[in-house]
Amino acid sequence: MGIVFAQFKLDYKIMKKNILLLCILFFSHHQFSQSKENCFANLSIFAEYAKVKNFKAAYQPWLELKNQCPDLNSAIYVLGERMLKSFINSSTNTTKSQYQQDLVNLYDEWLHYFPKSKSGENETGKILAIKAETMLDYNLASDSEIVKIYDEAFSKDPQSFKSPKGLYNYFKLYFRMYKSGNKDVSLEKVFDKYEELTEKFEYEMGVYTSKLDLILNKEENSTPLSSIEIRNKKVYEVNIVACDTYLNNLDAIIAQESTCENLIPLYRKNFDSFKSDAVWLNRAASRMDSKDCSDDPLFVELVEALHELNPSANSAYYLGLLNDKKGDSKLAIEYYNESVDLETDNLKKAKTLYKIALKFKKSGQFSSSRTYANKALKFQPSMGKAYLLIGNLYASSANDCGTSQFEKRSIYWLALKEANKAASVDPSVRKLADKTAKSYEARAPSKTDIFSEAMGGKIISFNCWIGKSVTVPSLN
């Protein structure tokens, strides 16, 4: 009997413990559910207020949301950033510094809880770059401190660090450190950073250009665009213009330092150390070519070392350039064509073909120049500068083609067509193309000329190298 009673007491104690445990679990779950419900409610309230920029009402639910459920939704940080920036811009000095510190902390928390996008792509570089830009805008740190953040963004995740303004500011601060005498930033490092960021700009422009070319090909084939494609076309154009603008600003910053007087001694000093480094050789040769330093014997050494180490599209192009300078046009063309054949990237093919077209124009071989410009356009339909080059070739031949003054001036209609095409396909040259088109239109025969010569609707053929015809506008 005593044993039975003892067993009963033991079972009773176990049952009490289980009931207590169940109560605790129920209560905890209830609290957790209630807390989660509060978080979702605060998220909804905060988001609604933030979207209509009623940040004063959005602040308290945001604060509770961030403290209780910081990993609930990335809107906490995306919309929170907008809210804090609004507070900073409208605050007095007393509260401004606190909001600024809150904003810096927000980026760190954003990185911790949402380093990836909803689609799973890494956004570390993007967030760090935004943080650096904010610190620059509000003067919250020294140039070197901000550059460290940009360095981290560029080294950890260059893929998502694609803001044209951010990339430009990165170099601007780096260059400013060099000019201020910072011992950690030499002229050589400035050139290295310039090359890295230039390549990044060109890569991003290439991505947008390739996407834009696909849309332009559909338009060329009269295929209707979807509403998404129409919207995307505008996005690609805006980004191409931004990249082009900031890349030009980058070039302007380094222009005074990137001279033959600076480049040649620097590359000469480092040549023996880097003559087995294809990346260094290619960058050095590219810089010397772009700055017209290719007459120096060092350029020959760079090119020969590059081609021997790693025969490539670039090295073949530079060998073509060298033979061009020697006057061996036949061998130069062979190397130029080899350069195009070796290149696998369509945009780089187009770039090389355009360079060749420019070389032919410079030497007065207009027909060959047009041929290579048209080849470039096959690989990159959005290359507006190729259309502008062809238009310029026509305009430059006005005095050499046609038998009468009217016919000579009619060539400007051909040039006008090319300029208009450039403006329609390439946002980066649109302003220049529109200005050029107006210039060509002004030089072409006027309505009065057409009337007095009785040429309306007639076809004029050009038997010079142009080999094209134009229909005179009808006055009817």
pLDDT of residue 327: 85
First to last CA, the chain: 124
Residue written as tokens 């609290």? Answer: 31
The answer to whether the beta carbons of residues 300 and 322 sit under 8 Å apart is: yes
Exposed / middle / buried, residue 270 (Cβ in 10 Å: 0-12, 13-18, 19+): middle
Distance CA 57, CA 48 (A): 10
Q: Looking at residue 312, what DSSP letter applies?
A: -
d(CA 120, CA 117): 5
Q: In this structure, are residues 104 and 135 in contact, taking their beta carbons and an 8 Å threshold?
A: yes
The domains of the chain are located at 311-373, 382-476
Chunked in runs of 10, what are the mean pLDDT values of the chain (476 residues)? 47 50 44 70 93 94 93 94 95 87 96 93 96 95 97 96 96 96 94 94 94 92 92 95 94 91 93 93 91 91 92 90 86 91 93 91 92 96 97 95 92 97 95 97 94 91 94 86
For residues 46 and 59, give the distance between their C-alpha atoms in angstroms, rounded to a whole number: 7
Domain 311-373 coded CATH 1.25.40.10: yes
pLDDT at 18 (0 to 100): 52
Spacing of C-alpha 463 from chain mean position: 43
Task: Give the pLDDT of residue 23.
Answer: 45
The amino acid at residue 254 is: I
Give the pLDDT confidence score for residue 27 in this predicted structure. 44
Task: Tell me how far apart the alpha carbons of residues 404 and 411 are, in angstroms, rounded to a whole number.
Answer: 11
Q: Which residues pair with 470 in a beta bridge?
A: 460
By the 8 A CB rule, do 278 and 309 touch?
yes
Q: In DSSP terms, which residues pair with 460 in a beta bridge?
A: 470
The CA dihedral of 80, 82, 85, 90, to the nearest 10 degrees, is -110
